Amino acid sequence: MPPTRSAFDDMPNRLLQALPGPERARLLGRFEAVELAFGECLLQPGGNMRDVYFPTRSYISLILPLARGASLEVGLIGNEGMWSVDVPLGTDTSQLRVVVQGGGIALRMRADRFRQELGSSQALRQLINGYTVVVLQQLAQTAACMHSHLVEGRLARWLLMTQDRAHADHFHLTHEYLAHMLGVRRVGVTVAASALQQRKLIAYHRGNIAVLDRPGLESAACDCYAADQLSYARINGSPR
């Protein structure tokens, strides 16, 4: 079905919102509004990418499988962006596991049709090219973050990123998922989360997280969070 007012206007995808008005209106008529469910797997490693998604009230986790059953979250996409930038680059498969971390509405289009839209719209092509650069910068930032920053600061960064995309002060993240986010063992997550909770920056109980002090959490986060914000601001403003 075509996107409804509630699917876009009340919580728009900010990447699409950056398009010129007539071009945005034309393109929105080509999307289908879908409800993504928490935990839904949109792609398994090696799978074919048949669709592109522009979240509005949902957010999507990109997880890289590692050796011995471990994994690492390398990206988090909400209404500031789209999945997947591989499609515009002409790639049909991905080695990532793509999971819905926050359920809600997204705008979906077939990958082949989206490529056609890119070919016929210079404004869309320029916007997606700029967003692709941002995504590549975020991946590089995440790789550097793993080797350079302490777990507590990295956890604060990912909690802020999640809050930005959840558009709420409360959200659910299990110890297992937090370990995936940071590429550490669960005991490392427990120590870092406890430290943030003792500073009264968050409340954490059975996977339910409440951000109590946003400015304090920003101060506790590693520098990568501010770098991410600057990258997004170049195309559509802060993801918040």
pLDDT of residue 233 exceeding 80? no
pLDDT score of 207 more than 60: yes
Give residue 112's pLDDT: 93
Greatest pairwise CA separation for the chain in angstroms: 54
Question: Is the pLDDT confidence value at 22 over 60?
Answer: yes
Q: Are 98 and 63 in contact (CB under 8 A)?
A: yes
Domain at 5-145: CATH code: 2.60.120.10
Return the percentage of the chain with pLDDT > 90, whole number: 45
Mean pLDDT of the chain: 86
Residues with Cβ within 8 Å of 98's Cβ and at least 6 positions away in sequence, in order, are: 41, 42, 43, 60, 61, 62, 63, 83, 84
pTM, full prediction: 0.86
Q: Domain limits of the chain?
A: 5-145, 150-222
pLDDT band at residue 185 under the 50/70/90 scheme: confident
Q: Which of 201, 186, 185 is nearest to 153 (CA)?
A: 201
Question: Is residue 56 within 8 Å of residue 7, measured between CB atoms?
Answer: yes
CA nearest neighbour of 81 among 158, 21, 14, 9 = 14
The DSSP annotation for 181-221 comes to HHTS-HHHHHHHHHHHHHTTSEEEETTEEEES-HHHHHHHS
Amino acid 10: pLDDT? 61
**What confidence score (pLDDT) does residue 58 get?**
94
User: Looking at the predicted structure, is the pLDDT value of residue 143 above 80?
Assistant: no
Residue 239: is its pLDDT beyond 60? Answer: no
**DSSP 3-state assignment of 141?**
helix
Q: Which of 48, 89, 57, 55 is nearest to 75 (CA)?
A: 55
Report the CATH architecture of 150-222.
Orthogonal Bundle (1.10)
What pLDDT, on a 0 to 100 scale, did the predictor assign at position 75? 84
> For strand 59-65 and strand 71-77, is the pairing parallel, antiparallel, or unpaired?
antiparallel
Listing from the earlier edge strand, what are the strands of the sheet with 97-102?
41-43, 97-102, 59-65, 71-77
How many Å apart are CA 8 and CA 64, to the nearest integer? 30
43-102 tens-digit pLDDT: 999 899 999 999 999 999 998 887 776 777 888 899 999 998 888 878 888 888 999 999
Overall size of the chain counted in residues: 240
Instruction: Copy the structure tokens of residue 99.
Output: 């999971």
Selected residue with higher pLDDT from 142 and 122: 122
Lowest mean pLDDT among 27-31, 76-80, 220-224: 220-224
Q: What is the pLDDT of residue 85?
A: 85
Q: What are phi and psi of 65, to 5 degrees?
A: -65, 140
Reported as a single tens digit per residue, the pLDDT across 87-112 is 887 888 888 899 999 999 999 999 99
DSSP state of 33: E
Can you list the positions of beta strands (E) in 5-66? 32-36, 41-43, 51-55, 59-65
Structure confidence at residue 4 (pLDDT): 52
Q: What percent of the chain has pLDDT over 70?
A: 92
What confidence tier does 173 reach under pLDDT thresholds 50, 70, 90?
Answer: confident
pLDDT of residue 3: 55
